[in-house]
Chains A and B, each alone.
Chain A
Amino acid sequence: MMSTFNRIVEIFQFVMEDPELSLNLSSSPIDINGWDSFKHVQIVMRCEEIFDVKFKISEIEKIKNISDLVFLVDNKLLT
């Protein structure tokens, strides 16, 4: 079974249309070209679909890097 991090990397590669996109836990919109608010919502929608969870705006506004997103998804999956 893939880890949350690896699945999120696949989601980013799909949304950013870049199968070679490389990420680490501290990657942020500053490092990832094209991670704007439109892509942010697309990433969140894809995460909701893949992980079968739902996010609130107040939760996703706090996502500043990949680590925050992994942490949020893992917390959702635990509850």
Chain B
Amino acid sequence: MLNSQIKSLLPRLHLNNEFDRLSKAIEQLSFVDATDFSKEDCLLIGTKYLEKNEFSFVELFLLGYIQSKQTTADEIIGLISSVTGRLPIEVNRRLIDAAIKRHPFKKQIIALGIAAQADSKDPSRMLEMLRKKTYAGKLDQADYLILIDILRSMNITLGSFFNSERSNEGIRKLMVVNAFSKLRPIGNDCRLGFLQRDLGFEPLGLFRWASIPLENIVILIEKNFNNFFAYENLSLRYTKHHHGLEEFLVVDNRWNFVSHTFMYDEDRDVILKKAHAHYSWLARAFLEGLEDSGQVYVYKADPPKPRIDYLRLHNALCKFSSKKLVVIEKDSDQDVSIKEELSDEVLLIRLPANDSYAVWEKAIYDNYEFIASEWIE
């Protein structure tokens, strides 16, 4: 049973000073039983100890959280996914073992367990182990996403499998999902945004749900988005989608920027204010993001533009550091994808008119070396 000092500190545990006093009280005990603490307290204390890298106490309290009957499987998955990369391997394995005992049929937990237990860092083997654990022998998106997160945290690259004898359908799927996660849409329609959503990715991006003339993107980047989303230039446009959903689109009339708001029943002034704040912040973040390297921007040109315009766009994107640009054009005169390298960092892919997921997937896989070069060993 908890002593009175610990009991008195628990309600104020969120305060940092109180945690210091509590941890001293805990560490003076000869035996600590996490089941004496509530689920919420176990999680909070375990997380606090994690900040201090005191892993024996992290393990004690997070085990208490995992073993609590009040903790759901999704809460356990959320916890393990967020702490896996911050824990020593052995502690991580023991936590996952406990999670599997609590939820032996939850596939996401099993996937985490396989990765933690795998004696080889072979993603092909991990996939096979995971597939054998599934009821129908078939993996879903959640499994691939979990494995990709795990592979990244373990610094395992997939490039060595590209076009190799070791490649198989599972590895190919992992590579495609991995590559899709790297892509950053910059217009000119929402196709890629929806494909990413279907795969479980929700990257935040200024242009993800927007259309804007290519030349205006170039000017905006060159002018640091000056006068972008000025309130006096904004308006709303009501639209009805083919499947019946009605929605407000927000328009920056100065830049001919049109974007979804995914809002349909709020006051117009409220939507405009929210959209103004939202897109102003995204513009700042987009500009700052240009300082980072590694992203691969995708511009979908419909109709196609002169090649020089794509190179101008790439030049603007490279304002602070080098970037890669994939330009997608649709070509109704062909039934297979055609690629053309406009420079070392600009790739033009012409897709057939029917740009289904399968067509995108093949185009992305065929150009994996360009898109995900940092994962090539």
Binding site for B on A (CB under 8 A): 1-3, 5-6, 24-28, 30-31, 36-38, 40-42, 44-45, 55-58, 60-61, 64-65, 67-68, 70-71, 74
Candidates B51, B82, B205; contact of A68 at CB < 8 Å: B82
Chain A residues near B281 (CB-CB < 8 A): 41, 44-45
Please tell me if the beta carbons of A64 and B78 are within 8 angstroms of each other in the complex: yes
The secondary-structure label for the interface of chain B is helix
Chain B residues near A38 (CB-CB < 8 A): 261-263, 274, 278
A11 to B: closest C-beta gap in Å: 14
Chain B residues near A60 (CB-CB < 8 A): 204
Please tell me if the beta carbons of B82 and A26 are within 8 angstroms of each other in the complex: yes
Please tell me if the beta carbons of B16 and A61 are within 8 angstroms of each other in the complex: no
Instruction: Tell me how many residue pairs across A and B have CB atoms closer than 8 Å.
Output: 81
CA distance A27 to B44 in the complex (A): 13
In this complex, how many residues of chain B approach chain A with their Cβ under 8 Å: the count is 33
Question: Closest residue to A40 on the B side, CB-wise?
Answer: B204
Binding site for A on B (CB under 8 A): 14-16, 40, 43-44, 47, 51, 74-76, 78-79, 81-83, 202-205, 261-263, 274, 277-278, 281-282, 285-286, 288-289, 292
| 29 cross-chain CB contacts under 8 A | A3-B14, A3-B16, A5-B14, A24-B40, A25-B44, A25-B47, A25-B79, A26-B78, A28-B78, A30-B74, A36-B262, A38-B263, A41-B204, A41-B278, A42-B277, A42-B278, A44-B281, A56-B285, A56-B292, A57-B286, A60-B204, A61-B204, A65-B78, A65-B81, A65-B82, A67-B47, A67-B82, A67-B83, A71-B51
Given contacts A36-B262, A38-B262, A56-B289, contact A64 B81 (CB under 8 A): yes
Candidates A5, A26, A71, A74; contact of B79 at CB < 8 Å: A26
